Chain A
Amino acid sequence: MHTKTLIELAQGLRSGEFSSVELTQIFLNRIKQHQHLNAYITVTEEAALQNAKAADVRLANGKAELLTGIPIAQKDIFCTLDVKTTCGSKMLDNFTAPYNATIVEKFNQAGAVMLGKLNMDEFAMGSSNETSYYGVVKNPWNTHTVPGGSSGGSAAAVAARLAVCATGTDTGGSIRQPAALCGITGLKPTYGRVSRYGMIAYASSLDQGGPMTHSAEDAAILLQTMAGFDEKDSTSVDCPVPDYRAGLNNSLAGLKIGLPKEFFGNGLSSNMAATLETAINEYRKLGAEIKEISMPNLKLAIPAYYVIAPAECSANLSRFDGVRYGYRCENPVDLTDLYTRSRGEGFGKEVKRRILMGTYALSAGYYDAYYIKAQKIRRLISEDFKNALAKVDVIMGPVTPTTAFGIGEKIGNPIEMYLSDIYTIAINLAGVPAMSIPAGFVAGMPVGLQIIGNYFAEDSLLNIAYQYQQVTDWHQHTPKGFE
């Protein structure tokens, strides 16, 4: 039952084939059985069964929505009322929010059953899930490799069928990269499409929540619930939310796909390139036209990102000071001691590194050279996307340079780790939406294809992904031991 798609499960619940309580119990059992993956930080078993019971009543009354009774899991970056929200950090190991994030509230309203909170890189800073205070998550395709990050717990949980679907957040690739490495479907919406209220901020101008699922159709269903203007988030955009499932069957004949030559250069392994070539050929067969394009400023994305994101995070994380909530050092002797030890002991290495980088970039005398310069580059990169998307309908490329790397392989070398997001970061700087979909395997490990669209063109991305998934079955593979 755990390998069924969301739609199949929703139908099963409606037909009475099984109840939400039964379904929820199956997933709770699987979570226990596969604890070694370390995908969950918190499992809310009792509440899940209670909510499943309520969902069954709602199903019986005929008042159910598509997600009613479906077991899902939340990345532990989203605040949940009465359930611990850690953001993968010792700093928040004792923190329970007095409110729900807007998207959590929306899932609750829809009757989805939350199984628990998923592991992640500390404060979403990382590409391997190795910076989590709660330990690394293992990739279900090969437990010696990383699941990617920062939404590593979400990707591993969905891939291993420890939840039907999950939420993730993406600041520089944190949905798409783990989705690619774990062989699932991930969508980073347009900046402003999904409310950030109650989602703990890493880099506010880049952060965006989105769905992590088995298929494009499941992603459409989740996004339908997540998307929309929120008066509590001034950066959420007040524009209509289309019916994401309505356009899934549109034909791709005549679709113009752009392949930026900068995406297929030296950094990409030949095996990866060959796999992506095969995937793109499928689109050719579906009637799409393929064009090579150039986006000359893409190479500047990583340096610009590693100024802007740390600058914003250096301020965003100032609130974790040991004064009002979260970790506080033992017996502080004075205020400075309270601050330095609480933050010094509460934050991990990567978080401290980024706070330091950001503080430096914003300092008097450096601001213009770093922050302002990076913002100018950001504008150039956005222009690249606008120009490209004026010529083609979508852009395609790799999500990652390689398949999942080994646990411990890159954690000692931050620069190398940062380069694993080389194909995803520019998208966040531009604010456009992008997806990662399973497109094959290299040496038994999943490979993701990235589809990048225009602002608020999530419906078209989902349509393009869905059509591919009608003619391929990469998204239906299940890692060994999790069937």
Chain B
Amino acid sequence: MEWETVIGLEIHTQLATKSKIFSGASTAYGAEPNTQACAVDLGLPGVLPVLNEEAVHKAVIFGMAIEAEIAPYSVFARKNYFYPDLPKGYQISQMELPIVGNGHLDIEVDGIMKRIGITRAHLEEDAGKSLHEDFHGLTGIDLNRAGTPLLEIVSEPDMRSAKEAVAYMKKLHELVRYLDICDGNMQEGSFRCDANVSVRPKGQKKYGTRAEIKNINSFKFVEKAINHEIERQIELIENGGRVIQETRLYDSVKDETRSMRSKEEANDYRYFPDPDLLPVLISEDYKTVVKAQLPELPQAKKHRFKDQYALDEENAAILTYSCQMADYFERVLKESGCEAKLCVNWITGELSAALNKAGLEIMDSPVGSERLAGLLARIRDNTISGKIAKQVFEEMWQSTATADEIIAAKGLKQITDTGAIEAIIDKIIADNPGQVEQYRSGKDKVFAFFVGQVMKEMQGKANPAEVNKMLKVKLNQ
């Protein structure tokens, strides 16, 4: 039988606010355990939550970017369950009236565009962390993360393969970073995914029973976990079994999912509106202001780059992968006065390679857009060759000097004095009569040997175009 996979994703994005969603404590990652948890985060008796306006702002920005309905009236609810790292015994979340309603995101897989529906996105607080190691059989609890604002983004079951799911997740990841509402750091858990997976015979309308795979924290694992789950379900059904609705955990070490709890064992969360918080009212005026402040979105930016700078799909995609990358490119382009092609080659080539090697993001690049533009400008005006430029770039990576400073200090300025080049060419021709003979008898390949010899003699500082031109004249004499 032919099977069809149905996938929906729930993605928790940590909103990049300075303080927590209901308290003034800092959200910075990596502090000593329990040093960033105030009385409200600890759930002490008598404390009350106060909503962080910035979290609402960021949720509205997101809603606008996916062209969603923004609820004029949304309500926080208590989700009740006991767990040691959940201090109040309930999580403040949104249930019936989330802040962001129906929206969508377009993805592209194998050159085909597809629209993925987003059912809703709601605000909630994160829980703390239970630490099971290093406590000699006891459990440690770190409440630094408790109260960190999350936007849970729930998709429609619109994806039909693990590949589509990953494309959607990447697209969303790119978007939240573009919007500057989430740092996107997956290792630190700023962007986490739960996947709902089911299979059904191709052509069947009714959905199969789904399993939810919890907390998958990388694009690679999402793909593997989903594919594994699809296989498990198909095998189960084909062997006469039945998929049960349950929560499963993906084990990346063993590359398998295993059951956490079934629907029967599932908690009854007893949601009800939180009486400590007022409903959130969003006015049309507020939406208008937020809309006006929205940055250019990735899709639009990519199209513009393709048109405006005559870039191919691949380069346009790389340069618009993040807002910072796109801005960097546009700054280099403007400041250097170079052609787009040269800038693209340098950014996607030398710079990207160096960043990758150092494990840095574009915003942390030791060579800022201004210095790179300075370097490319010297290529443009023939002060140095591309080859020398790479040498200068390496120096720049290690220092704070400008390209001009390095070129001057190291004497790398290109020789454009035709007299000097001519003298060298004459010498090389005189020293290599055999190769001259070969060239003149029609072996064109030998030409490269002459170029190499001249450049070597001139320590790479000769203008290659000039060398080519003059060599041709001399050899053909």
Residue count of chain A within 8 Å CB distance of chain B? 44
- B311 interfacial contact with A, CB 8 Å: no
Q: Which residues of B contact A335 (CB under 8 A)?
A: 84
- B46/A197 in contact, CB under 8 A: yes
Choose one: B44, B47, B141, B276; the contact of A325 (CB below 8 Å).
Answer: B44
Task: Give 4 nearest A-B pairs by CB, closest first.
Answer: A318-B89, A205-B275, A362-B270, A204-B275
Choose one: A234, A321, A324; the contact of B278 (CB below 8 Å).
Answer: A234
- B451 interfacial contact with A, CB 8 Å: no
Choose one: B46, B80, B84, B270; the contact of A97 (CB below 8 Å).
Answer: B46
0/1 per residue, A332-375, Cβ < 8 Å to B?
00010001000000000000000000010011100100010000
- A315/B46 in contact, CB under 8 A: no
- B50/A231 in contact, CB under 8 A: yes
Cα distance A95–B80 in the bound complex, in angstroms: 24
Choose one: B45, B80, B141, B278; the contact of A323 (CB below 8 Å).
Answer: B141
Task: State the Cβ distance, B167 to closest chain A Cβ, in Å.
Answer: 36
In A94-127, which residues have CB < 8 Å from any B CB?
95, 97-99, 101
Q: If the complex has contacts A319-B87, A319-B89, A339-B82, are A204 and B46 also in contact, measured as CB distance less than 8 A?
A: no
- A312 interfacial contact with B, CB 8 Å: yes
Name the residue on B nearest A78 (C-beta). B46
Choose one: B43, B46, B87, B88; the contact of A101 (CB below 8 Å).
Answer: B46
- A200/B90 in contact, CB under 8 A: no
Q: Which residues of B contact A312 (CB under 8 A)?
A: 275
Q: List 7 A-B contacts (CB under 8 A).
A: A99-B44, A232-B48, A315-B90, A319-B45, A319-B87, A324-B43, A362-B271
Cα distance A99–B42 in the bound complex, in angstroms: 13
- B49 interfacial contact with A, CB 8 Å: yes
In A296-340, which residues have CB < 8 Å from any B CB?
311-312, 314-315, 317-321, 323-325, 335, 339
Name the residue on A nearest B79 (C-beta). A315
- A92 interfacial contact with B, CB 8 Å: yes
- Most A Cβ at <10 Å: residue of B46, B84, B87: B46
Task: State the Cβ distance, A117 to closest chain B Cβ, in Å.
Answer: 13
0/1 per residue, B39-66, Cβ < 8 Å to A?
1001111111111000000000000000
Q: Which residues of A contact B89 (CB under 8 A)?
A: 315, 317-319, 321
- A292 interfacial contact with B, CB 8 Å: no
Q: If the complex has contacts A199-B46, A232-B48, A324-B42, are A315 and B272 also in contact, measured as CB distance less than 8 A?
A: yes
- A362/B80 in contact, CB under 8 A: yes
- B78 interfacial contact with A, CB 8 Å: yes
- A180 interfacial contact with B, CB 8 Å: no
Choose one: A234, A323, A362, A371; the contact of B48 (CB below 8 Å).
Answer: A234
Choose one: B45, B50, B278; the contact of A85 (CB below 8 Å).
Answer: B45
Q: Which residues of B contact A95 (CB under 8 A)?
A: 45
In A2-53, which residues have CB < 8 Å from any B CB?
none
Further 14 A-B residue pairs, CB within 8 A, beyond A79-B46, A201-B46, A314-B80: A95-B45, A101-B46, A201-B45, A233-B48, A234-B48, A234-B50, A234-B51, A235-B48, A315-B270, A319-B44, A324-B87, A362-B80, A362-B272, A367-B272
- A98/B276 in contact, CB under 8 A: no
- B87/A363 in contact, CB under 8 A: no
- B268 interfacial contact with A, CB 8 Å: yes
- A98/B270 in contact, CB under 8 A: no
- B277 interfacial contact with A, CB 8 Å: yes
Cα distance A235–B278 in the bound complex, in angstroms: 7
- B43/A319 in contact, CB under 8 A: yes
Q: If the complex has contacts A321-B89, A363-B270, are A98 and B39 also in contact, measured as CB distance less than 8 A?
A: yes
- A92/B45 in contact, CB under 8 A: yes
Name the residue on A nearest B90 (C-beta). A315
- A235/B275 in contact, CB under 8 A: yes
Name the residue on B nearest A326 (C-beta). B45
Cα distance A335–B50 in the bound complex, in angstroms: 30
Task: State the Cβ distance, A370 to closest chain B Cβ, in Å.
Answer: 11
**What is the interface of chain A mostly: helix, strand, loop, or mixed?**
loop
Q: Which residues of B contact A311 (CB under 8 A)?
A: 272
**What is the interface of chain B mostly: helix, strand, loop, or mixed?**
loop
Cα distance A335–B132 in the bound complex, in angstroms: 13
Task: State the Cβ distance, A70 to closest chain B Cβ, in Å.
Answer: 24
Q: If the complex has contacts A321-B89, A359-B270, are A234 and B276 also in contact, measured as CB distance less than 8 A?
A: yes
- Most A Cβ at <10 Å: residue of B42, B45, B50, B271: B45
Cα distance A367–B270 in the bound complex, in angstroms: 8
Q: If the complex has contacts A95-B45, A99-B39, A204-B275, are A321 and B51 also in contact, measured as CB distance less than 8 A?
A: no
- A198 interfacial contact with B, CB 8 Å: yes
Cα distance A433–B87 in the bound complex, in angstroms: 33
- A161 interfacial contact with B, CB 8 Å: no
The chain B residues found within 8 Å of chain A, CB to CB, are: 39, 42-51, 78, 80, 82, 84, 87-90, 141, 268, 270-272, 275-278
Task: State the Cβ distance, A226 to closest chain B Cβ, in Å.
Answer: 15
Task: State the Cβ distance, A203 to closest chain B Cβ, in Å.
Answer: 8
Cα distance A335–B139 in the bound complex, in angstroms: 10
Cα distance A418–B47 in the bound complex, in angstroms: 28
Cα distance A234–B49 in the bound complex, in angstroms: 7
Q: Which residues of B contact A203 (CB under 8 A)?
A: 275
Cα distance A315–B89 in the bound complex, in angstroms: 7
Q: Which residues of A contact B43 (CB under 8 A)?
A: 319, 324
Cα distance A312–B272 in the bound complex, in angstroms: 9
In A270-316, which residues have CB < 8 Å from any B CB?
311-312, 314-315
Cα distance A99–B48 in the bound complex, in angstroms: 13
Q: Which residues of B contact A324 (CB under 8 A)?
A: 42-43, 87
Q: Which residues of A contact B277 (CB under 8 A)?
A: 234-235
- A138 interfacial contact with B, CB 8 Å: no
Cα distance A315–B76 in the bound complex, in angstroms: 14
- A75 interfacial contact with B, CB 8 Å: no
Q: Which residues of A contact B44 (CB under 8 A)?
A: 79, 97-99, 319, 325
- B45/A235 in contact, CB under 8 A: no
Cα distance A95–B44 in the bound complex, in angstroms: 10
Name the residue on B nearest A197 (C-beta). B48
Task: State the Cβ distance, B75 to closest chain A Cβ, in Å.
Answer: 12
Q: Which residues of A contact B78 (CB under 8 A)?
A: 315
- A214 interfacial contact with B, CB 8 Å: no
Q: Which residues of B contact A227 (CB under 8 A)?
A: none
- A97/B45 in contact, CB under 8 A: yes
Q: Which residues of B contact A79 (CB under 8 A)?
A: 44-46
- A196 interfacial contact with B, CB 8 Å: yes
Cα distance A85–B39 in the bound complex, in angstroms: 15
Task: State the Cβ distance, A229 to closest chain B Cβ, in Å.
Answer: 12
Q: Which residues of B contact A98 (CB under 8 A)?
A: 39, 44
Task: State the Cβ distance, A253 to closest chain B Cβ, in Å.
Answer: 40
Cα distance A87–B268 in the bound complex, in angstroms: 29
Q: Which residues of A contact B90 (CB under 8 A)?
A: 315, 318
Name the residue on B nearest A375 (C-beta). B273
Task: State the Cβ distance, A326 to closest chain B Cβ, in Å.
Answer: 8
Q: Which residues of A contact B272 (CB under 8 A)?
A: 311, 315, 362, 367, 371
Q: Which residues of A contact B39 (CB under 8 A)?
A: 98-99
Cα distance A87–B275 in the bound complex, in angstroms: 20
- A87/B42 in contact, CB under 8 A: no
Name the residue on A nearest B22 (C-beta). A234
Cα distance A31–B456 in the bound complex, in angstroms: 102
Q: Which residues of A contact B278 (CB under 8 A)?
A: 234-235
- A87/B80 in contact, CB under 8 A: no
Cα distance A478–B47 in the bound complex, in angstroms: 38
Task: State the Cβ distance, A227 to closest chain B Cβ, in Å.
Answer: 17
Q: Which residues of B contact A320 (CB under 8 A)?
A: 45
Q: If the complex has contacts A87-B45, A197-B47, A199-B46, are A319 and B88 also in contact, measured as CB distance less than 8 A?
A: yes
Cα distance A101–B48 in the bound complex, in angstroms: 11
Task: State the Cβ distance, A347 to closest chain B Cβ, in Å.
Answer: 13
Cα distance A335–B81 in the bound complex, in angstroms: 13
Q: Which residues of A contact B49 (CB under 8 A)?
A: 234
Cα distance A199–B87 in the bound complex, in angstroms: 18
Cα distance A364–B275 in the bound complex, in angstroms: 19
Cα distance A204–B278 in the bound complex, in angstroms: 12
Q: Which residues of A contact B268 (CB under 8 A)?
A: 363-364
Cα distance A101–B42 in the bound complex, in angstroms: 16
